[in-house]
Amino acid sequence: MSLRYVLRAVWTGLAAAAFAVLICWFVLLGLASAGGDAGMIAGFLGTGPGGLAVAVAAATGAPVEWAGGRLNPILLLLDGSPLALIALGPALSAARLGLAVRRRAASFAVAAATGYAAALAAFVALAGALPADPLFRVHAPAGWVALTALAWSAVALLATRATRATRGVAVTVAPGGWPARTRRMATATALLLVAAGFTAARPAVAGPGDGRVRPFAGGMTAAPVGYHRPGVAAALEQARAERGGVALVSNDPWRGTPSMVGMSSPFGGDARAWLKQHAGLFGMADPGAQLRPLREQRDPTGERHLWFEQHIDGIPVLGSRVGLHLDRTGRTVEFVTNGAEPALAVPTTKATVADSAALATARLALPGGRLAEPVRLALLPADADPGRASPTVLAWQVWLADPAAGVSNVYFVDATGGRLVYALPRASEAKHRSIRDANKLTELPILPKRVEGQGPSDVADVNDAYDRLGQVYDYYSNVHSRDSYNGTGGDLNAVVRVRQKKDEKWVNAAFVPGDIDTMIYGEDMVVLDVTAHELTHGVTFSTADLWYMYQSGALNESFSDIFGEAVENYVRKSNDWLMGAEIPGIGAIRSMAFPEIFGDPDNYHKFKSGCGDWGGVHSNSGIQNKMFYLLSTKIGIEKAAKIAYRTLTTYLSPRARFTDSRVGFMESANKLYGKSSAEAKEAEAAWTAVGVDGVFEQPRQDCLCIADSSLSGGGLDGLDPQGPGVDAVLAAVLHVRDLFSTTRTPALRHYERVYALSGERAVELMGADPQLKKQTAHAVQTLEPMFRTVGTTAGDSTVITATQLGELRDLLTAYATADRAAGGGGLADRIETELASASFDELAGKTVNQALAFLDTRVG
């Protein structure tokens, strides 16, 4: 066999590989011009600098994973999707290869097939190595690519070399062809290779270059597997039997009780008697003894929903609610929402600290806040753990709101010790209308600029807010029969052109609930989907009241994104699946169709566990967002939105998780469209597609920042008795946390990322070194005046001292030393890099806000 012979065979394979890439690219471009859902995806993939990379990945014949999902030609073909045409690339190129070698010797065919596979592997390697749009880097092991390509070419070679007579034309095996036994063995091998290429092989990936999950700053608790409190398993079996052997269930693995249960249980009208009869579901002896009626709601269909709140000695347990969902007759319980704590350790229900003292402590964290509701007592439960009662803290619940700052938090002050122990955010970043104009000032105006029925104002933002709020109201009224965000005709109040600092735009919007219930907008932020998003936070607050942190917070954000798109579709008869695309100078901040474009997970297995942004509420919203997008492509956004609305307003409780929302969507689809309907099946399929299957559960997030951890236990020994108290320090830290949520300067964004990457290691090092813990406590105490004034008008006059900077530098150096001594080095390297880039020495003598502006230019 001559070298020329081999090179000619390899060239044949190379040409076929190039042909495959071109066919895949042309198919993507062709589909893009055809429109529809497939056209939108194809246009996104096939155009721009990443198009060729996607075509290379598709040409391998393996399923292609990218930022928005997975393109598996076989599954797409079964679904009848036009995107299945991407398989034409490898199929036609393999056929071309087979035709080119059909009359050649077997050695030539083998060399050509090898050249074909090697060429595709080389294309993939080149596409991954070349600098390109980071969204479309190709990641695929060369071995798997070659294996898949060999499988395609082997099938094509066997098909074209087989002896077959058709209409008088005989295609015969050329002299030197393969014996029948060899053909049979090769056929079986090729089929196995194809199966491996589509199932076992790692897919060719054209997706984000950085798929890393950010480290978690704090502890994580793995979900217990199969844990049930006594009596729960028998109660679930009873529920399954009553429902005909199949029951929708979402289990809370830490409490050991079901958080949601579908059933069909007779109801005689006495809720307490029913609760006691089914006590096993709640893991209590007598649930009715602790559950007090909270509200009753009726659907337009006549179905009743009875909600209860857990109380101990008349004091509510925060976030602990139970819902009994009855059929139209009121004689059958069809579904149960269970957010109750099955076992609580309550040391006392008698307060020894006055509510006025608690209010004063809370005001340390938000000096400009006004009281949104009367101060009241609540029991704050710790996270449940199997086999033990959850410790509780009797706390004064102090809700403060500062609309000008876009901050609304509930602060919890220990009612027996006076310490600030917890903060729960209420504000979130979004038909009687009243619009006020702040006119670029930091003080909110009193007099409205335009009210219901008045003609247009001379301020464009005022008119835009008036119109957008009206459109959102009309959507909820006409589609869901809901009268305003609270369901009882609440006024639609808004303030536009708000600033937090006189000389700087506030690039944000928020709905601030409480006694003010007001939408506030920065300049040019009055756009349709943002308005719908923010006002939906008011709907959530009035119904499920999803806690704005961790998984419940991510659901909270997601429902607002969902109805942002639903309102956009209602008003414009189409939607773009992008949140905030019309914000001037910024554009979209999230994508529901392709969450990973913005670094957000599109699958529960990619959940980002971090303490920033209240446990990743904005980022992790991408999981349910992706599910809703997939569901909408199957049944339409109108139907999907009705399922989402019922889930949010009827079935979820404050501390709901993704698995709860999954069951809520499935039950809502059952009720709206029928248990065996296509809508019900697609709802389950959409959740499964994003990794929420009712079995897998992410570890629980347990967030404690470095300041929180250092100011507990032995860290208090390091405090200066003459310095700010512990409550003042924690209040300053909470202020900085609020800034991360409401102010997006380049420096703050940078340090939020740094903390996400470094916090876990820092907490670990501090926990192992009591001296480092004391040093950290003293440092955050020293820095309290600086923390307290960041981003406020007081920050214009508060000067950073060399002493403060020296203590901060010493602390960071101590962490770097501890990191290297413990066998690490990554944290130490990051600290040294940050110290060099920030030029800390130049900050001495600057005011706090001058320093922040300086850091914006150095590290942002």
Q: What is the C-alpha to C-alpha distance for residues 526 and 122, in angstroms, rounded to an integer? A: 50
Question: Nearest-CA neighbor of 112 among 3, 6, 1?
Answer: 6
| 534 counts as catalytic | yes
Largest CA distance in the chain: 104
Pairwise CA distance, residues 143 & 163, whole Å: 32
CB 576 within 8 A of CB 561: no
Closest of 280, 550, 255, 253 to residue 384, by C-alpha? 255
Within 13 Å, how many C-alpha atoms sit on residue 78's CB side?
4
Torsion of CA 826, 829, 833, 835, to 10 degrees: 110
Structure tokens at 44: 């996104």
Give the amino acid at 646: R
- Strands 370-371 and 376-381 turn out to be unpaired
| C-alpha to C-alpha distance for 595 and 66, rounded to whole angstroms | 11
CA pair distance 446, 437, nearest whole angstrom: 9
In the block, tokens 């080119």 appear at 100
Strand-strand pairing, 315-326 and 304-312: antiparallel
Residue 814: name the closest of 847, 857, 770 by CA. 770
DSSP E strands, 696-818: 700-702
Q: C-alpha angle 33/37/42, rounded to 5°?
A: 50
**Pairwise CA distance, residues 288 & 276, whole Å:** 6
CA atoms within 13 A of residue 530's CA, in its CB half-sphere: 25
Strand order in the sheet with 69-71: 69-71, 64-66, 204-207, 137-139
| Amino acid at residue number 228 | H
Q: Which two tokens stand for residue 702?
A: 């347990």
Residue 201: what are its φ and ψ, rounded to 5°?
A: -65, 145
Helix, strand, or coil (residue 96): helix
CA distance readout (Å), 859 to 210, 268, 504, 795, 853:
21, 66, 19, 20, 10
Catalytic residue among 303, 334, 534, 667: 534
The angle formed by the CA atoms of residues 816, 819 and 825, to the nearest 5 degrees, is 90
Environment class of 369 (CB within 10 Å of its CB; exposed 0-12, middle 13-18, buried 19+): buried
Is residue 618 flagged as an active site residue? yes
Number of neighbours of residue 6 by Cβ within 10 angstroms: 16
Tokens of 232: 């729960």
* Phi and psi, residue 392, nearest 5°: -130, 155
Distance, in Å, from the CA atom of 778 to the CA atom of 766, rounded to the nearest integer, reads 13
Q: Is residue 718 within a helix (H) or strand (E), and if so which, with residue range? A: none
Residues 6+ apart with CB under 8 A from 99: 160
Q: Residues with Cβ < 8 Å from 583, sequence gap 6 or more?
A: 507, 524, 525, 527, 530, 589
Lookup result for tokens 């939906």: 536
Of 618, 735, 750, 778, catalytic = 618
**What is the C-alpha R_g of the chain?**
31
Residue 81 is which amino acid?
Answer: S
Taking the alpha carbons of 253, 255, 257, 260 in that order, is the dihedral positive or negative? Answer: negative
User: SS3 for 252?
Assistant: strand
Please identify every residue annotated as catalytic: 534, 618
